[in-house]
Structure 1
């Protein structure tokens, strides 16, 4: 590698990511759509890189490390929503932030906050009930359905969750709806949410999702530089 190429590599942000973690997934989705190049370091939870833990001692993914021109740590972003905002603030070719529509933008942020603060907790309880064969599975599913029904209603009114144009809310919520759909797969396929099913399937079958979910060598196994 030439010195010039090495310098450019040293300046690229580093993203520590876990392939199937929904938080890491939505960070990768936003970075992919922003077309901001980063160096991807795939990890597993039982063998976290020391460099990642130095950057973010809490030890969760995603962790985005921004570097100075000299390759030193300039800033660490270790919340998935903040990584998404960073990426799309840098470059947003598809206007996923709805920058010219203040009403849609406010709705987008409110919807993501509701799912982050409420739905994800309900989803975790639902998943646990299924995993441990608890007898309140239906009740916990119905708690989730309050939020799912709202998405279904939105998708009867427009193509995406906030408007007829895709927004950051679609990418932020997508990984958690993917998890919801897997808990009771047969029930989900027969559930009264056809628009949500279509919305989810369109994403899961897209080239973007295949790219974002590509399997990469683990960073600690190879130290290979993976450009994402």
Structure 2
């Protein structure tokens, strides 16, 4: 979602190839031995293998919404917040949402991880009490980098999430999932088959040679 958000808002066209990780195509393994998605293969041959790096690449080429220039912080401050969530919040989110995949996360442990992740969301909620978005009155990189993970957390137990005293955070997340940009990036695409052309993304773009590999939901 991060990669698609930045590519769409910055109008960086690419050939999107939906892949299923349990049936990894050779082209994915050739482009990126880490064999996870997203992977962006740029027309000059460079390969970018991390979603946040794809965001930065796209926005440094075109940033119409000024996502890299928030109203009340600088880029380094935003990246520090994102890194903290990527390291801490994401760890607990995975063990809460996918408890069965982790030996250390049974039913009881999953609730512990939910509480640990919720502590991070307490901080976001407190920050959103003063501004509509995390660093001002318009969305910036931190909002768009963190919202997909907060969405995952909320969907794991939507009734529990809705019952928490997080009104600003819930409003912020609702604005994200009800936005036109969100609707654009969440379109469903068929699984890509080797030897065939991918799908042009964002829709309506001028064809280019960049290739984005992402996982079918």
TM-score range, shorter chain: 0.7 to 0.9
Distance 2:42 2:23 in 1: 22
- The residue correspondences of 1:17-166 to structure 2 (distance < 5 A) are 25-68=1-44, 74-98=45-69, 103-129=73-99, 134-166=107-139
From the two aligned structures, give the one with the greater helix fraction.
1
Q: Unmatched 5+ residue regions in structure 1?
A: 1-24, 69-73
TM-score, structure 1 normalization = 0.81
Q: Unmatched 5+ residue regions in structure 2?
A: 202-217
Distance 2:110 2:198 in 1: 44
Equivalent pairs counted in the alignment come to 198
Distance 1:136 1:212 in 2: 33
Is the CA contact (8 Å cut-off) linking 1:104 and 1:162 kept in structure 2?
no
Report the secondary structure of 2:172's partner residue: helix
In the alignment, which of 179, 185, 188 is matched to residue 161 of structure 2? Answer: 188
Whose relative contact order is higher, 1 or 2, with alpha carbons under 8 Å and at least 6 apart? 2
| Cross-structure match for 1:21 | none
Cα distance change of structure 1 residues 220 and 161 upon mapping to structure 2, 3 Å threshold? same
- 1:77-102 deviation digits (Å, cap 9, x = unpaired): 01111111100011111110017x69
- 1:19-49 deviation digits (Å, cap 9, x = unpaired): xxxxxx1111111111111111111111222
In the alignment, which of 155, 174, 180 is matched to residue 207 of structure 1? Answer: 180
Report the secondary structure of 2:42's partner residue: strand
Q: Which of 1 and 2 has greater Rg?
A: 1
Distance 1:136 1:75 in 2: 41
1:130 CA displacement: 7.9
Is the CA contact (8 Å cut-off) linking 1:107 and 1:162 kept in structure 2?
no
| Cross-structure match for 1:173 | 146
1:205 CA displacement: 1.3
1:139 CA displacement: 2.5
Distance 2:21 2:167 in 1: 35
TM-score, structure 2 normalization = 0.84
